[in-house]
Structure 1
Amino acid sequence: MGDAHAPQPPRVASTPADHCPEAVPTPPSIAVKVLYALPHPVQYQSPMIRRLVSGGVELSVVYARGEQRFFDPEFNRELAWDRPLMEGYNSLVLGPSEDRSTLARLLADHARECGAAAVWAHGWSQPMDLAAWNASARLRLPLMIRGDSTLPGRRGGGLHQRVHRWLYARRFRRVAACLAVGSWNAAFYRAYGVPDERIFQVPYAVDNAFFQRQAREASSSREILRRSLGLEPGLPVVLFCGKLIAKKDAATLIQALSLAGPSAEARLLVVGDGELRLVLEKLAEDLIPGRARFAGFKNQSELPAIYELCDVFVIPSTYEPFGLVVNEVMNAGKPVIASDRVGCWPDLVRPGVNGAVFPAGDARALAEVLRPFLLDASLRESAGRASLEIINRWSFEEDLAGIQAALEFVRGR
């Protein structure tokens, strides 16, 4: 049994046999090699990593486990992303160990081998995150973190929150640079005592070029896709895209559509899967009979066409640390309606410009802000254009600039 759980020898992914990835063609503008520790490849992280490397950031990317099928309990299914996540940059896979001390030792060894001058952790809760904190302490290397916690996301009562703030304020003193993914995340760091000089904007972004290109290409097949999904022509399509679990709160959207009134006729397209699917299908049949289509899980390459098809996107979550699906749909030039518990709204959703915001869980309030978009095609078009303009300024280019600024700061400490 001990052999079954022993850490596997590290293996290198991508192209070279060298365990210390070098930046591709562009000469590095910041001469600080960074060990970037991640639990596993992530569909949102990999394109950003490729852009950082091509922009001259010297990254040595290290994963605890590689790119393989996995079971997602919230989607209630086994998944494998259909876009390559470990191509275009060099990476190292340590093995499947969940033991923090083993991972920390392997990370520290690798950092010595490749001459890393800083460590970048994805957060502070997963075994690989904690191993990165440990490795940076062992080697006395500056630590950068990029979590997505927000003040609205804190759990527990007043005493729990005070203890949490005291504990993490002490932990964050060790951090050389906090890489904020959005305004709410930056506010979280400030509330925990991190000074502004150590907070750098490295926004949660997606591969804008990919999503915009795919949406343009899908436009010519829009009506074919519409028919395949059983959506009648001429009616606005309201899109929900996410896991069918309680905190995503698709039920409030279904209720809102039942309250929008007969003049605001629309079709609801639900993309995603999860434990509440049967419950939500029954709710939709009761409240908006014949007006909802449940399309199930769609993989990354299928989503741009779905985004291009819809007329309005709604994210009604009762809590969402950020909500990268909003970035994706904005690249298709669509209006966005978000609850006030979705972390990205202060940065990406501008009420009266490219969408609207409503109090989470309030179906009547959602119906009120949704109704104008269902009735007015010109409003949808102008808001969609605004979405595209906004998202073009929230991209990997901003990530590159933020990382470069953080590394300049770390190098000067």
Structure 2
Amino acid sequence: MSLSTAPGGDERLRSKPKKRLAIIVSHPIQHFVSLYRALADSPDIVVRVFYASRIGLDPYFDAEMNVELAWKMDLLAGYDHVFLAGAERVKSIGFSTIDSPGLEDALDAYDPDSVMVYGYNQRNALRAADWGHRMGRAVLMISDSELLQRRAFWRRAVKRLLVPLAYRRIDAFLSVGDRNEAYYRHHGVPASRIFRSPFTIDEGAFKRAAAVRAEVRAALRKDLGLEPDAIIALFVGKLTERKRPQDLLRAVSALADDGVTVHAVFAGNGALMEPMRQEIEALGAPGHLLGFVNVDRLPGLYAASDLLVHPSEADPHPLVCSEAACVGLPVVLSDRIGAEGATDIARSGENALVYPVGDVQALAAHIRSLAEDADLRAAMGRRALEIFGELDLHRSVDGIRRAIEAGPRRGRRA
């Protein structure tokens, strides 16, 4: 139990001087809004988010998703935020584009005790880390980097040289999971400077959907023209080669040939949309392409499904695993998913089944085991809810709190 949720915890926190935290981020991102609001509600932290761009606030075309996106949620309400000078002119996310010359002056004016950055691959993150190091303020960094990806030798060599240099400016490392912590340790970060702070989701929306699971389950099957007891394996993400959605389609097709019907439902769009549509028609496969599904409809879609499948060949720490756990879904993952680990959101043999990436036969076997065993699905679903309870929003805020309390490694300059 975190301090903020323990009996009397809020009172003890209110008795401490509030710490001022500056969060430096490229643009409003839907998944992080819950964290910012929770930090704003914290009795011992004052937070301000500094945005370098207005990307995400207005409809924009996502080339990889092949669709115009307009998030159906308020990305700015409930927390203090500012847009840095020139934010309206920034139209893409990259190292050189996320570069706000006025950031240091904005930090001087806010005078935070700590600054928090997302990785080191944007110039603003380096600006903020340099400012914090120079002023003696604690610099916190959060990332989802891991060691699962197969990188070229030269890339590994460059990272070996550059990452420790970047990390010299960091006082505390916020980890999102086991693989992320292993990455930090691989690059020389001591355990005493690593604090678990999982990436957040809109817990309230997913819990509300889970509360009406029977209702949304029946509605989805009616919409798709399926029997009330049809088994649904859900895929959420971009329909791209890296995500390997066709592996799921081919797995359920093979199961159908063997007399086991599992319906694969795909929530997302991308370059593979039309090839997959053609494959479904050619094979008569039990696949359903929903296209892009906005954030207001996603929680119900999870709650209406029986399991989540994430077959990607490279995904550091996908939030789909947290979203599935929040509604009590077991997950089937490739072994290239960085969210799997003994203390992470996806735990093999508990709420997750893991298979070698690209092995459609092994994927089909895992799906079949869950489809044919309702007790196993239920047990893994219950375990998913328990695990999510260990890694929820309270844990995220508490990790940041502990990182702030650890303080900078050098004294504060006035």
TM-score range for the pair, normalised by the shorter chain length: 0.7 to 0.9
How far residue 28 of structure 1 moved from its aligned partner, in angstroms, is: 7.9
In structure 2, distance between residues paired with 1:204 and 1:371: 30
Instruction: For residues 100-125 of structure 1, give each alpha carbon's deviation from its aligned partner in whole angstroms, at most 9, with x where no partner exists.
Output: 69945322111111221222111111
| TM-score between the two structures when normalised by the length of structure 1 | 0.87
How far residue 139 of structure 1 moved from its aligned partner, in angstroms, is: 4.1
User: Structure 2, unaligned stretches of length 5 or more?
Assistant: 1-12
Q: Tell me which of 51, 72, 89 is aligned to 1:63.
A: 51
RMSD across aligned C-alpha pairs, in angstroms? 2.2
In structure 2, distance between residues paired with 1:143 and 1:318: 32
Whether 1:274 aligns to 2:264 is no
* Closer/same/farther in 2, CA of residues 393 and 315 from structure 1, 3 Å limit: same
Q: Tell me which of 24, 30, 48 is aligned to 1:37.
A: 24
How far residue 96 of structure 1 moved from its aligned partner, in angstroms, is: 3.4
- 1:96 aligns to what? 88
Q: Tell me which of 371, 392, 395 is aligned to 1:374.
A: 371
Percent of residue pairs identical = 33
* Closer/same/farther in 2, CA of residues 28 and 398 from structure 1, 3 Å limit: farther
Q: Secondary structure at the match of 2:390?
A: coil
- 1:176 aligns to what? 171
Q: Tell me which of 358, 361, 385 is aligned to 2:358.
A: 361
How far residue 388 of structure 1 moved from its aligned partner, in angstroms, is: 1.1
Matched length:
386
* Closer/same/farther in 2, CA of residues 103 and 30 from structure 1, 3 Å limit: farther
Counterpart residue identity of residue 57, structure 1: I
Q: Tell me which of 387, 401, 404 is aligned to 1:390.
A: 387
Q: Secondary structure at the match of 1:50?
A: helix
How far residue 215 of structure 1 moved from its aligned partner, in angstroms, is: 2.7
Counterpart residue identity of residue 126, structure 1: Q
On the 8 A contact 1:180/1:203 being kept in 2, the answer is yes
Aligned pairs for 1:18-167 (under 5 A) are: 27=14, 29=16, 31-55=18-42, 56-66=44-54, 67-94=57-84, 95-97=87-89, 103-137=99-133, 139-153=135-149, 155-157=151-153, 159-167=154-162
Whether 1:284 aligns to 2:280 is yes
In structure 2, distance between residues paired with 1:290 and 1:339: 21
Counterpart residue identity of residue 345, structure 1: E
On the 8 A contact 1:241/1:272 being kept in 2, the answer is yes
How far residue 208 of structure 1 moved from its aligned partner, in angstroms, is: 2.3
Q: Secondary structure at the match of 2:28?
A: coil
* Closer/same/farther in 2, CA of residues 121 and 97 from structure 1, 3 Å limit: farther
Greater relative contact order, per chain length (Cα 8 Å cut-off, separation 6+) = 2
How far residue 59 of structure 1 moved from its aligned partner, in angstroms, is: 1.2
How far residue 295 of structure 1 moved from its aligned partner, in angstroms, is: 0.8
Q: Tell me which of 301, 305, 309 is aligned to 1:314.
A: 309
In structure 1, distance between residues paired with 2:350 and 2:331: 10
* Closer/same/farther in 2, CA of residues 141 and 102 from structure 1, 3 Å limit: farther
Q: Secondary structure at the match of 1:349?
A: coil
In structure 1, distance between residues paired with 2:408 and 2:172: 11
* Closer/same/farther in 2, CA of residues 225 and 202 from structure 1, 3 Å limit: same
Instruction: For residues 138-166 of structure 1, give each alpha carbon's deviation from its aligned partner in whole angstroms, at most 9, with x where no partner exists.
Output: 54533211111111136212x43123112
| TM-score between the two structures when normalised by the length of structure 2 | 0.87
Q: Secondary structure at the match of 2:40?
A: helix
* Closer/same/farther in 2, CA of residues 127 and 174 from structure 1, 3 Å limit: closer
On the 8 A contact 2:138/2:409 being kept in 1, the answer is no
On the 8 A contact 1:205/1:394 being kept in 2, the answer is no
* Closer/same/farther in 2, CA of residues 46 and 271 from structure 1, 3 Å limit: same
Instruction: For residues 29-77 of structure 1, give each alpha carbon's deviation from its aligned partner in whole angstroms, at most 9, with x where no partner exists.
Output: 5643121111111111110111122123221211112322222222111
- 1:199 aligns to what? 194
How far residue 269 of structure 1 moved from its aligned partner, in angstroms, is: 0.8
* Closer/same/farther in 2, CA of residues 221 and 316 from structure 1, 3 Å limit: closer
- 2:205 aligns to what? 210
How far residue 218 of structure 1 moved from its aligned partner, in angstroms, is: 5.3
In structure 2, distance between residues paired with 1:351 and 1:411: 37
